[in-house]
A and B are shown apart, each in its own frame.
Chain A
Amino acid sequence: MSSASASSALEASGIRVELDDGTPVVDGIDLRVNPGEILGLVGESGSGKTTTALSLFGHSGRGIVMTAGEIVVDGEVLEGDRRFQQARGRLVSYTPQNPGAALNPSRRVMQSVQDMIAAHRREADAEQLSVQLFERVGLPVERSFTERYPHQLSGGQQQRVCIAASLAPEPALIVLDEPTTGLDVVTQDRILKELLRLRDEQNAAMLYITHDLAVVSQIASRIAVMYAGRIVEQGPTESVLREPRHPYTRGLVASTPDHRRPRTLEPMPGVSVGVGEWPQGCPFAPRCPQRVDRCETAFPPTEQVTADHDVRCYEWRQTPPATAHSVVPGNVKSQEEHPQEPVVLEVRALHAEYRSRHETMVAIEDISLTVERGACVALVGESGSGKTTTGRVIAGLHPNATGEILLQGKPLPLHARRRSAEQRRCLQIIFQNPYQALNPRHTVAEEVARPAHVLRGMSRRGAREEVRRLLEAVRLPAATARRYPRELSGGERQRVAIARALAAEPEVIICDEITSALDVSVQAVILELLRELRHDLGLSLVFITHDLGVVATIAERTLVLENGVICERGSTGSILESPQHPYTRRLLAAAPSISLAAESWTLQGSG
């Protein structure tokens, strides 16, 4: 608010976007981005981040319309379809979430960039400029690469092509919509570093949209936090993350796992507010621990915390520090081993491959692990490292495998079909994608009752009782039993999937990236739920994830996989604190973390 608007790359004020029937989707959005600055727009799914971003282009989906607000980019007021049309690409460019879908599959990658140049900078030598752009984003410029089609590139390379294309018209503002979601941490880290370099070299202004506070702490100079279509807190990254003043921001920080500072997460109660459900007062009030009466009648005005840090909360002075009492130093080390507990699951020399008509690919080689009763063993690695295959082999779902699996000391056939009902009962699996985990044609009750019926021989009536008990165990209201998956959110679906696994009364549950499709606050709820279930039921977990922060939160022991081989194993504490294998070190160095960013703030502050 301090600098003059003429120098800003983006000055947006009072943006309101509505559905056709007048239901607000986002409201009162003020954003400012200066050249050489990256603004992180943070919020969970449904908070209106992408709607806000698209409104900067005068673009909105079907049945959505921008009804108020002023957008000034690089000193030009954008108004009316024509102005927006002319501004797209030239003044504002957009890098979408899914680069694979954003690139035309029938165009060679270099052509995609040249198309952008042809559309906006006809005077430029497209050939020469596109090579420069490829170099600038760190892509090879050999013919053998530039003439490839998008599907021949990795996800990270595709994303870089998109970034190169959005740089082509030299726009005043680059909008990046979750550009690294779905990429491996090492690739993500490289892209983040390149964005920082572009910011410095070109004095570029960027709006970086993400749900991940750890990522944004690494890259953004300022942060705007969205909740239910409104910005609830905005300020410099350091001050927002270190001393969040809005209880929602605080909740997000407390829900974000951090591999450098393992601690219990503090899940926020309740669920976020969707479009059309905005209450009269503050939308966060129903979940807020510090609400007062007026929160329920009026949405708080913007209040200044410091000159450039503002918040929309009446009680912001009461917000407790984000991490003061939740940090448990040495948490991981203290619960290292369970030597007295019996081994539930033992895997020896597991080997699996994928066969297609033409070739055989080795997916995992010589994987061995043991899981004690009540323990949680994490399998960590990038995509393609074989961690999911390992989980599927143990669950009996991967046909081309050899090796030995012992369940409670007795050998377990590798194929689920050859296992006894008792063996199948003991070992359950939960899948990554909650949107595909439940049969859309079955009610929650049918889905959860089935394992109890098939594997435990429960009568229909008994199973009905059991469903009620299990839904309570995963903190879902009893009425959920009658609902269909499509009526549930992602987090609720994943809780139903957990209930379905629990319905078998298993000894071991294999969790295959079960929180990676969920918002951080929902992830925190699920991780805490699993922790309690382990404690109460003596459950053992094999937890497959790519997120080292999650590992630090939940697992006592960790196995790091690289290209199908275990490259390092040990207690989570020792792996996170003193990794031995270079691959583990690389993973750790690339993993984003709020506390890592905090250290650099301290350094800057003192130096």
Chain B
Amino acid sequence: MSTAVATPSPPHSRRPRIPAFIAADRGGQVGLVFLVLIVFVALFGPFIAPHSPNVPIGIPGQGSIGGSPLGLDQLGRDVLSRALSGGRTALALGALATVATYLVGVMLGLLAGYARNTALDGITMRTVDIFISLPAILVMLVLVTALGGSSWVLVLGAAVVLFPGVTRIVRTAAAETATRGYVEAAVARGEKRGAILRREILPNIMAPIIADLGVRFSWSIILIASVNFLGLGLSPPASDWGLMISENRSVIPTNPWAVVAPALALVLLILGVNLLGDAYVRHLGRSSSR
């Protein structure tokens, strides 16, 4: 059943071609450039890095020197090389956490919204309320402390923290759409619940879902980076942008690049995702108003 929710597959004819909706939108173009840049760095960065990310090559905290334009970090390792190899974890864990968030969030939201004002709706949403009231970073820290700071725990933690928001958005949109004539017509002709959710409701609530996607993805990256920053997630010597910001606080006076470079990378990634999400929503608004 999870696949049913994971693949919002409206027929191909109308699925906006990605280049088309970006080409028409300045924000989308900028977002795409940012995202392509970051994904490129994450994928190929390690191969073009001038030095090994884990081997000290000079005095810790040293500024820009020959062969090391961004200087060295608190252990004397090359900041550029570490920044080039630190994107994979941020990107992969963020993406995985987002997928997990949406699998749970969209499914619960659709079920609750379609069953609006029934016991199923009530129980689901009160449970969601409990989850939403938990402080995000606390949940992450408890989970990491209890289960260890592995990648899977980080993904699980981010999903637990983030799915309630998705459920609420989807539930509201689904409950509104469920009163439309085409949904009632589907009920009247006896379509199964799964088919109604997938065919009639989900494709029509994609705008709020996608608008939210960028924010949610950014959040998962920030959450995981925060845990790493606190030193409880991925442990050194792994190179991760969040972890790098944390490790290099002490060398900010001598080599600010050690913090600015990974921070900039995170900012570009989050901005890119958000700009693309916004562009897609603008596109949906243009093409299916009414």
Tell me if B253 counts as interface (CB < 8 A to partner A).
Answer: no
Mark A432-450 against chain B: 1 for CB-CB distance below 8 A, else 0.
1101111111110011001
Assembly CA distance A497 to B180 (angstroms): 13
Least Cβ–Cβ distance between A28 and chain B, in angstroms? 31
Contact of A429 among B188, B190, B191, B200 (CB under 8 A): B188
Q: Which residues of A contact B199 (CB under 8 A)?
A: 439, 442
Q: Are B181 and A433 in contact (CB under 8 A)?
A: yes
A443 to B180, CA, bound (A): 17
Minimum CB–CB distance from A477 to chain B (whole Å) comes to 19
For A72, the chain B residues whose CB sits under 8 A away are: none
Known A435-B290, A486-B289, A486-B290; judge A424-B184 contact (CB<8 A). Answer: no
**Which of B7-15, B37-45, B236-244 forms part of the interface with chain A?**
B7-15
* A436, B181: Cα distance in complex, Å: 6
A454 at the interface (CB under 8 A from B): yes
Docked-complex contact B188 and A441, CB < 8 angstroms = no
Which residues of chain B (188-209) have a CB below 8 Å from chain A?
Answer: 188-191, 199-200, 203-204
Report the Cα distance A500→B185, complex, angstroms.
9
Assess whether A122 is interfacial by the CB under 8 Å rule. no
Docked Cα-Cα span, A434 to B23, in Å, equals 33
Nearest CB in chain B to that of A399: its residue: B118
Residue of A nearest to B287 (CB): A486
Q: Does B288 contact A (CB under 8 A)?
A: yes
Residues of A within 8 A of B182 (CB): 436-439, 442, 447
Interface residue? B187 (CB, 8 A): yes
**Contact between chains at A416 and B290 (CB < 8 Å):** no
Does chain B have a CB within 8 A of A455? yes
The answer to whether A441 and B14 touch across the interface, beta carbons within 8 angstroms, is: yes
With A and B bound together, what is the CA distance between A427 and B188 in angstroms? 9
The CA-CA distance from A396 to B190 in the complex, in Å, is 10
Q: A416–B204 Cα gap in the complex (Å)?
A: 23
| A interface bracket (residues with beta carbon within 8 Å of B) | 35 or more
Query: If A486-B289, A497-B181 touch, does A441 touch B189 (CB 8 Å cutoff)?
Result: no
Q: In the assembled complex, which residues on chain A have CB atoms less than 8 Å from the CB atom of B290?
A: 435, 440, 485-486
Residue A419, interface by CB 8 Å: yes
A440–B204 touching, CB < 8 Å: yes
Check: A421 CB closer than 8 A to any chain B CB. Answer: yes
In the complex, are the beta carbons of B180 and A436 less than 8 A apart? Answer: yes
B189 in contact with A451 (CB, 8 Å): yes
In the complex, residue of chain B having the shortest beta-carbon distance to the beta carbon of A356: B117
The residues of B that contact A396 with a CB separation of less than 8 Å are 187-188
1/0 contact trace for B142-182 toward A, CB 8 Å? Answer: 00000000000000000000000000000000000000111
Measured between alpha carbons, how far is A419 from B187 in the docked complex, in Å? 11
In the assembled complex, A417 has its CB within 8 A of some CB on chain B: yes
Instruction: State A209–B10 Cα separation when bound (angstroms).
Output: 42
Query: Smallest CB–CB gap between B228 and chain A, Å?
Result: 40
A583 partner residues in chain B, CB cutoff 8 A: none
Residues of B contacting A486 with CB < 8 Å?
287-290
Contacts of A419 in B (CB 8 A): 190
**Chain B residues whose CB sits within 8 angstroms of the CB of A429 once the complex forms:** 184-185, 188
Tell me whether A454 and B190 are in contact in the complex, defined as CB-CB below 8 angstroms, given that A440-B204, A446-B11 are known contacts.
yes
* B-contacting residues, A16-52, CB 8 Å: none
B189, B199, B287, B288: which has the most chain A beta carbons within 10 Å?
Answer: B189
Task: Decide if A431 is an interface residue (CB 8 Å cutoff).
Answer: yes
Max chain B C-beta neighbours (<10 A), residue from A396, A441, A447, A451: A441
Is A316 engaged at the interface, CB distance under 8 Å to the other chain? no
Q: Mark A484-498, 1 if CB is under 8 A from B, else 0.
A: 111000000000010
Task: Provide the bound-state CA to CA distance between A450 and B191, in Å.
Answer: 10
User: Which residues on B sit within 8 Å (CB–CB) of A454?
Assistant: 189-191
| Interface contact B288-A440, CB-CB below 8 Å | yes
Interfacial chain A residues near B191, Cβ < 8 Å:
454
- With contacts A441-B14, A486-B289 taken as known, whether A397 is within 8 angstroms of B189 at the C-beta atoms is no
Q: Which B residues touch A111, using CB under 8 A?
A: none
**Complex contact A397–B288 (CB within 8 A):** no
Q: Which of A397, A435, A497 contacts B188 (CB 8 A)?
A: A397
**Could you tell me the distance in whole angstroms from the C-beta of B288 to the nearest C-beta in chain A?**
5
The answer to whether the Cβ of A395 comes within 8 Å of any Cβ in the partner chain is: yes
Q: B14's contact among A427, A451, A484, by CB below 8 Å, is which?
A: A484
Contacting residue for B13 out of A443, A451, A504, CB 8 A: A443
CA distance A431 to B14 in the complex (A): 25
Known contacts being A484-B14, A486-B288, is A437 close to B190, with CB within 8 Å?
no
Q: Which residues between 282 and 327 of chain A lie within 8 Å of chain B, taking CB atoms? A: none
Confirm or deny: A390 has a beta carbon within 8 angstroms of a beta carbon on chain B. no
Minimum distance in angstroms from B105 CB to a CB of chain A: 21
Contact of B190 among A417, A431, A436, A442 (CB under 8 A): A417
The CA-CA distance from A263 to B204 in the complex, in Å, is 42
A437–B187 contact, CB under 8 A?
no
Q: Is the CB of A416 within 8 A of B187?
A: yes
Choose from B188, B189, B200 the contact partner of A439 (Cβ within 8 Å).
B200
| Per-residue contact bits, chain B 256-290, to A (CB 8 Å; 1 contact, 0 not) | 00000000000000000000000000000001111
Residue A428 is within 8 A (CB to CB) of chain B in the complex: yes
Residue on B nearest A501 in the bound complex, by CB: B185
Q: How far is the CA of A504 from the CA of B10 in the complex (A)?
A: 24
Residues of B within 8 A of A436 (CB): 180-182
> Known interface pairs A439-B200, A446-B11, A497-B181. Does A416 touch B288 (Cβ–Cβ under 8 Å)?
no
Chain B residues 1-42 with CB under 8 Å of chain A are 10-11, 13-14
In contact, B288 and A424 (Cβ under 8 angstroms): no
Q: Could you say which of B188, B203, B289 contacts A416, with CB atoms under 8 Å apart?
A: B188
* Cβ–Cβ contact B190 & A397, under 8 A: no
Which residues does chain B contribute within 8 Å of A504, judged by CB atoms? 189
CA distance A338 to B18 in the complex (A): 59
In the assembled complex, the CB of A325 is this many whole angstroms from the nearest CB of chain B, namely: 38
Residues of chain B lying within 8 A (CB to CB) of residue A441: 10, 14, 203-204, 288
Residues of B within 8 Å of A440, CB to CB, are: 204, 288, 290
Which residues of B come within 8 Å of A, CB atoms? Answer: 10-11, 13-14, 180-182, 184-191, 199-200, 203-204, 287-290
A-B contacts, 22 of them at CB < 8 A, read A397-B184, A417-B187, A424-B190, A429-B185, A429-B188, A431-B181, A432-B181, A435-B290, A436-B180, A437-B181, A437-B182, A437-B185, A438-B182, A439-B182, A439-B203, A443-B11, A443-B13, A450-B186, A455-B189, A455-B190, A484-B288, A500-B185
Q: Which residues of A line the B interface, CB within 8 A?
A: 395-397, 416-417, 419, 421, 424-425, 427-429, 431-433, 435-443, 446-447, 450-451, 454-455, 484-486, 497, 500, 504
A-B residue pairs, 7 tightest by C-beta: A431-B181, A437-B181, A441-B203, A439-B182, A436-B180, A424-B190, A436-B181
Starting from the known contacts A396-B187, A416-B188, 17 additional A-B residue pairs (CB-CB under 8 Å) come to A396-B188, A397-B184, A397-B187, A417-B190, A421-B190, A427-B188, A429-B184, A436-B180, A437-B182, A438-B182, A439-B200, A439-B204, A442-B199, A451-B189, A484-B14, A486-B288, A486-B290
